[in-house]
Amino acid sequence: MSQTIEVAGVSLEIEDRGTGRPLLFLHAGEGLQPERPWIEILARRHRVIAPSHPGFGGSALPDWFGSVDDIAYLYLDLIRTMGLQDVLLVGACFGGWIAAEMAVRNTARISSLALVAPLGIKVGGHLDRDIADMHSMSRAAFMQKAWCDPARGEVDYTLLPDAALAGIARGRESLALFGWKPYMHNPRLRRWLHRIDIPTKLIWGDSDGIVSTAYAEGWRQEIAGATLQVVPNAGHYPHWEQPEAFSAALETGA
């Protein structure tokens, strides 16, 4: 069951499941989707703490709040408020961007980092699209790019209650707020990735059409000792599409 916690004046909806070493999971642009099996699988070994980002799901989005910087500081405060130590910080897609922004700021309570197909940096030139323009394509085209098997990702919106649909609509709007321009990245973040001083793992689906493994290489080169693990038969969301293999990848060498 989700609970609500207030941090820095922001009311956050949080899933808190399992016991063990704390794993702070920062969700993708498509939302938390705790009803999928991934969270229970991770909770076998960890205390999984997974907030909905401000403006997503049931988390508030105050008027003053509006950047990825804000989210990074908020979650550093969340770790301190909850008294967490030795945190395994995991961020997927948009959540990976947030996790990297946290890790370049302060790793005092974070002891390892996993970035799952993260957005957030610029690698190529002016005419190169490092991150697929998810907002200039039809929903069907997006699903084709984001999933190895789009059928696994399909959601029948007509079956969802209005509150859940409102959460999805709010989340889509909030993702635009945080990532519209520059598109889903911070042009300066790459220059600060060298500050990440904890073991870092990059996890990538082998069929990711949103960010490629060449882009993963851009990340790997900037973070000392970072390793790349590729999950077979997975697109942009390996934790949803191959949750067991994803969990195994997370534990390997950790």
Partner 1 sequence: MRTWYFSEMAYHPAWKEGIDRGSLRVNFPNQAVDPVEAGKLLNRYLDEFRLCDEVGIDIMVNEHHSTATCMTVSVPMALAVIARETKRSRLLTLGNPIANRPDPVRVAEEMAWLDCLSGGRLEMGLVKGAPYEIAPANSNPARLMRRYWEAHDLILKALSTHDGPFSWEGEYYHYRNVNIWPRPIQQPHPPVWMTGMSVDTGILAAERGHVVGTLLSGGLAKPMYQAYRKRARELGWEAGPDRFAYAAIIGVGHTREEGYRRADQIADYVRTAPLVYEGFTNPPGYNSVGANVAILKNGPRANRIVTDRHGEQIDHRKATVEQFMDTETVFAGTPDDVFNQLKAFNTRMGGVGHLLFFGQGGFMSHQDAMSNITLFGKEVAPRLLELGVPEAAAAE
Query: Residue 62, interface with partner 1 (CB under 8 A)?
Result: no
Number of residues that bind partner 1 (CB under 8 A): 24
Euclidean distance between CA atoms 9 and 177, whole angstroms: 19
Burial letters for 116-134: b for 16+ Cβ neighbours within 10 Å, e otherwise?
bbbbbbbbeeeeeebbbeb
DSSP-based three-state secondary structure for 43: coil
Crossing angle for the helix pair 162-179 and 94-103, to the nearest 10 degrees:
50
Query: Residue 5, interface with partner 1 (CB under 8 A)?
Result: no
Residue with Cβ nearer partner 1 (120 or 179) = 179
Query: Residue 60, interface with partner 1 (CB under 8 A)?
Result: no
Within residues 16-55, the interface with partner 1 by CB under 8 A covers none
Query: Residue 224, interface with partner 1 (CB under 8 A)?
Result: no
| 36: nearest Cα among 73, 232, 28 | 28
> Which of 35, 83, 126, 139 touches partner 1 by CB under 8 A?
139
H-run or E-run covering 250: helix 243-251
Within residues 164-193, the interface with partner 1 by CB under 8 A covers 165-166, 168-170, 172-177, 180-181
Query: Residue 157, interface with partner 1 (CB under 8 A)?
Result: yes
Q: Which residues bind partner 1 (CB under 8 A)?
A: 66, 135-139, 141, 157-158, 160, 162, 165-166, 168-170, 172-177, 180-181
